[in-house]
A = this chain, B = another copy of it.
Amino acid sequence: MPRSAPARAPITSPAAATVFTTVLTEGPVSRVDVARRTGLSSAAVTKAARPFIEAGYLEELASEGRTTPGAGRPANPLAIRPDREYFVGVKITGDDLIGVVTDLRADVRASAHHALKSHDVGHVVRALADLVGELLSGPTPDGTSNLRERAYCLGVAVSGDVDRASGVVRYSPFLGWRDVPLASLLEDATGLTATLENDVKALAVAEQWFGEGVGASSFALVTVGTGIGSALVVNGDLVRGAHGVAGEIGHVPVADGGPSCHCGGQGCVEAIASTEAILVRARDVSGEPALTMEDAVVRARGGDEPLRAVFAGAGHAIGLGLAALVNLFGPERVVVSGEGVATYDLFEDQIRRTFAVQAFGSAARCGLVIRPLPFEEWARGAAAVAIQSLFVAESV
């Protein structure tokens, strides 16, 4: 069972959550500015902020940036005390566990990996509890206490169909799991409050609160690699899909009559641009059935035109998928990331060219950020979900 946490962030009302979230994601910010951005009155902001200051989550800076005691003047900026609480984030892959400890602003303070020997649920739960124990065994940065003393929440990211509200992994193809009540198993094993989320959605939460999505009411995160997926934020909320499916940019059909996809469709983005699809095509055009991805990348970078065309073709399919997404949604910004983007020098140009041609009118103004994704980022996404769970547990 999770430990009780009497002195924790006192989220007692929607206004409290709004004020704290605003300072967390946009601070330091004065009460007057919080009021302006949230539509609350200055008095409501002051009232909502006080318990957070008392509990040590927020502090008031003097106008020059120094800490000032007491209630202070409304113009003094409010700031987060990031070390007031720590959060554990773990990404479970088919091969290993990647874990981080972050502060309240999702800055990573510690990290660790454990290999997974099997996909047995009991084994994974024990390995994850060990990893959490290791991550939290160190001292706090100020040396006054132990990370564990200020950690209450665990976020876990898994690819597949994850029901955040009930804490159940409905289906994970990589783990071979169906309907595993992972959150409650992990709460028993770690003593932390656990929140599960689909891994791509978890990354999107990190972007929304602490990355490219800050200040954007709508954006999309697209991940490219073994699979191709996305998470969409519209009007500040993650799109979850009425039937549990949303953001499946990998299964947007862009090439009528194109290659068959494992989903049963044809010409899906993933059937052309996933790591596996690129490799199959590279072996085909080179006539070398044993060609490795590493070699294909080296030779494409060295100027092998047929292989360069395979990567460009993948970039073209991704660009078509992005155009579909942006013409339908009109997000302010799209981040394209994922392990497949480690080789993005081979397809970034084509992604941008195709997107520019197919984006409709002013939708082309959507900002396109293409960048690699360090694997630890997935675990940081899980920690961001744990941070977010402070505020939205009731509404999810």
Where the two chains meet, the residues of A that have a C-beta atom closer than 8 Å to any C-beta of B are: 216-218, 230, 232, 234-235, 237, 239-249, 251-258, 263-268, 316-317, 320, 323-333, 357-358, 360-363, 365-366
Contact = CB atoms under 8 A, between A and B. Distances in A.
Nearest to A366: B243
Contacts of A358: 251, 253, 265-266, 268
Given A235-B235, A253-B358, A329 B246 contact: yes
A332 B243 contact: yes
Given A253-B358, A256-B320, A263-B360, A327 B235 contact: no
Contacts of A244: 330, 361-362
A243 to B, nearest CB: 5
Contacts of A330: 239-246
Contacts of A328: 230, 232, 246-249, 252, 324-325, 328-329
A277 to B, nearest CB: 14
A180 to B, nearest CB: 18
A248 B363 contact: yes
Nearest to A354: B253
12 contacts: A232-B329, A234-B237, A235-B235, A241-B330, A243-B330, A243-B332, A251-B360, A252-B324, A254-B254, A256-B316, A266-B357, A324-B324
B254 A253 contact: yes
A320 to B, nearest CB: 5
Contacts of A366: 242-243
Contacts of A326: 245
Given A245-B361, A251-B360, A330-B243, A235 B237 contact: yes
Nearest to A327: B248
A368 to B, nearest CB: 12
A169 to B, nearest CB: 15
Nearest to A332: B242
A268 B359 CA distance: 11
A182 to B, nearest CB: 20
A360 B245 contact: yes
A251 B216 contact: no
A70 to B, nearest CB: 34
A358 B261 CA distance: 10
B217 A242 contact: yes
Nearest to A220: B328
Given A235-B237, A329-B328, A363-B241, A256 B267 contact: yes
Contacts of A257: 255
A217, A252, A362: which has the most chain B beta carbons within 10 Å?
A252
